[in-house]
Structure 1
Amino acid sequence: MSGPSTILRARLSADGRLLSADAALLALQKEAGGDLGTPIAVPQLAAIARLTHRMGAAVSRPVIAAAERGLIDMWVRARPDGGGVALAIIDWHERPIEGDSTETLRREADLAALAEGWAWQIDTELRFEMIAAGHGPQGVLPAAPPVPGSRFAGFFELRAEDDGDLPMLRGITQRRAFRHQVAAQASDPGRLFQLSGYPLFDLAGQLIGYRGSAFPLDQMILAPLGREPEVTLYPADFGKRLDRSLRQPLGRIIANADTISAQMEGPLRADYAGYADDIASAGRHLMALIDDLADLQTIDRPDFSVTLEEVDLADLGRRAAGLLRVKALDRQILIVPPPEDASATATGEFRRVLQILVNLISNAVRYSPQGSMVRVVTEQARGQARIMVIDQGSGVAIADRERIFDKFERLGRDDAGGSGLGLYISRRLARAMGGDIEIGGAVGEGARFILSLPART
């Protein structure tokens, strides 16, 4: 059933007391044990108000609150207002409690906004308004991303689940967040994405579109040449099983740990907030291991292949450096990318070359001393295009320069970073594209990881 269709408003003081509220909100406040002049008693609204007050900026997010008559789905917009906080509930729907708990439903809505991948935004006519890169290798834009103004259906073809359900269409119909919508790229049906999204509303409560993310799944693979092409779902199916068994639970752990660490539900002892931050960091580390495992399963197949196209190593070096700039600044390390006018044209697969460079630069940042510099340099010589990642760390001993590319090899390191698979995967990818990765640099003067690919003439 539905509740009020108009915008509901409330004002809170700087210390979280409810100063005024429309009737439906005041009734919910009283049901939760509060009243006018007392602290806001609905935990989800209190958390949003605290976050808005602490950030000094507007916050908009979905909320699910429990009432005696059932669950209330709300889209809440909070903004600073004269030292306090103004709340506007721009969507309010009441429904009976079904199988899921309030906490589970609220977590699902939050996770839609936290999903990894590259970002997109569409209007109510399902046309792209914005496309942007996200964080990490999964946030890399496709080689030919959609352009603003083009139709969503022109780039993505939604795939129904086994029971025929389409999570995205169900979410849009209900004006709610959605997750786990599998879609194929229209121009390349073998390239699959997992879509998540959440609705956007204006101040009048009108739906103005959806913002979401596209997480790339492993590509489907065609049968070897000489046989009738048949599509096998092994990599995509493997990724789907990984997602259900590991990625989804880890995603919930990370999201909840981040919420606790940020103290969005209320103040905590400093050591407890630190424990939550450690849990979130460990969860992200495990997520990276899962990604490495999925890549390992893919590249170790005998029929693994890459798509050869024209790529600019200098451009990819600048993109990879941009993705890791914040991580480097956390350790006071400066990444110097190739200059804007530099170009080194090669033959390779865009996303795989970028994956290699992200791994090489990430390793350089991880193992370089604080306050040092990581340089990314390109050159072309003897029919090859080369890009070098040069750090100021301790370097790699000559005797270890081949062993470091072995599977699970970490050269005796006992720190928590890395799985020992990144360099193995990177070299396998480089060789699949007709290139290689080598190590140079004098021991004690830093390492020089060199990716070479056939030059594009």
Structure 2
Amino acid sequence: MTTAGLISARCDSADRLVESDEILAALQVRLGGGYPGVIALPGLLSLVRRARMAGATLGAAMTVTDEGQPLSFSARAIPDGAGTRIEISDWKVASDAWQGDEAASADEALVRQLAEAHIVLDAEQRIVSGSVTAGDLADLASGLQQGFGKYWTDFVTLEGNAHRQPLHWRLLDEARVAVPGSSRVWKTRILPLRAGGFELLLVAETVLINVPAKAVAAAPEPLPQPDWKGLLGRKLAPALRLPINRIVANAETIRTRLAGPLAEQYVGYAGDIAEAGRHLLSLVEDLADLETVEDEGFAPAPDHIDLVDCARRAAGILGVRAQERGIAFVLPAPDVAAPAIAEFRRVLQILLNLIGNAVRYSPEHTRVEVDCGIDGEFAWITVLDQGQGIAQEHAEKVFEKFERLGRSGDGGSGLGLYISRRLARAMGGDLTVQQAPDGGAKFVLLLPADTAAQATAAG
């Protein structure tokens, strides 16, 4: 292992590296950047930008692979006039430090860049050493100085876990914790070290902006949080849709060989890219909808609609997906009508979610039945599948935010049913689920009936 002394550099107001000691300037060029030029190391660029925008000194531990050799170092970004000064210390060649491949994984490298507390633990998860870069973790930093040999869990509160050490490290990896003195929610990452022991990283799940470290440490009240209201739905979602759609479209062009001959393995890669792009786009839409339905001022625009028409449209949109799995739709008879007062777009959104879930979780070569009707002052529509169903004790849990009921890797976000119920209730109705008599899940959507349309039809 080799080390270097303090490395200094300076960036201008556009975050371009304009002055640097030789060791960092050489790394900048080897990583494909220009000198002078925008910082080529993503983690360091992010740190410099955050420090410039916050007007406060920030620090972080980082890793980078240079010509196949993993390096680690500590970086500080210090706003200085129109630019930013950079100070790098503890520059180490770390090929023998981490367990696993010679180069740290991209995921671990990103987590290390985002972490605001780095703690080394022994094999029993007791504290060996630690460093903290966040001002609101001042109490933790003080505790670490006196905490040698103590379990790290003594200094935080584990969300939903009252057990004390010893616990297997995998049970604590990616756990949410509260840290005394910090109003933010933190998530743990525990990485095994090759020589034994672990590295514990704390990554914030909430953002702290424009609060200098000294002010944070001394603040007697909860720290002010930025107002992100409307940021995703009104700003980020529209900006993300175009590039993600381009990724999907270009990947499909490659997958279908429209751009020319292609080896089979690359066809598969392109298909994976397209599928990942669609999943990301779906997640963006779900998060934007989540922001909308949780807004205090949210109010649907009711109109005169027919639930039967909505059901047929949703089934038509999902028809290709159902055919791929050999699933047949059983829809209401042509002479059935279920007039209701609700916003057409939102009702269609709910039905796409319900019928889409039915197609996704039903066995192949089964059927999904959709029925509609009027019961008193409510119009109703049911979606029934032949899948495993939902146990009665999970009938409410399934509508909770981010609830997956143990499913993972199926492309869902855990938000669809939560958003659908919020929409149904905002329109004066409700959404429930029950176990079907012969198995499967039966979702029931209730909406206010259109009594005027009923009277007209009867007359």
If the length of structure 2 is used for normalisation, what is the TM-score? 0.47
If the length of structure 1 is used for normalisation, what is the TM-score? 0.47
Larger-Rg structure: 2
